[in-house]
Structure 1
């Protein structure tokens, strides 16, 4: 997968080899990167979202105490549960465990983030990231459109 820009709180977007990417965040608030390969990309995972979350500075993840699902709250009104696991070799980065059963949650999260002002990720009740969504609407549009319904 490609790395999307994620400096400060700014949201950025990229398109490379048929893959749409969007991301934003900061060390103090965590980083969120989302990617999706388009139908014409030739990839066998076309339409499947890739979501990676880097937790806030100072937070360390432990496989033994990590819940099976991370709760993403958009504006403290809408919640989305995504199965995520710790990226191999990391203690600070989670990746979405894609399944056809949860893709609607992922798509709903991206859609809500486009309209929201803040997204907070929680492992149980522990806040592991909280990102301002200002400027994310346009950057997330292509990723949302790419995710297969």
Structure 2
């Protein structure tokens, strides 16, 4: 696997879990995700498409992004692709943990650099460092992705 594909898979899986949690919290069904077209017609995503997105098995395309943004009353794409601070922190934690343990990143400069900051490679230690430095991590992520990013799909965001 490539670095990009590892991070895409991780991001899509975490985003799917978070979107599923949000839909459940709002008591929305998978067949209620849609948007209004320029012609004034309602375009619903298929339940299969929504289900695959929620499982992290499918890219959120531009149209799917519009459908989720509309259905969840989000003002911009960033709210969809980074729906909460908790999601952002979990994403950062999982990316760091993945870089430290996934063989794809073996012998990379990034892994060596991150590994220097950790006495042992444990999820608990990663969580503690993220929590201790969360403002720095969140500010970095916030400056990296704007409210209206040029990227239009979940794979591009990842």
Q: TM-score, normalised by structure 1?
A: 0.29
Higher helix content, 1 or 2: 2
Higher strand content, 1 or 2: 1
RCO greater where, 1 or 2, for CA within 8 Å and sep 6 or more?
2
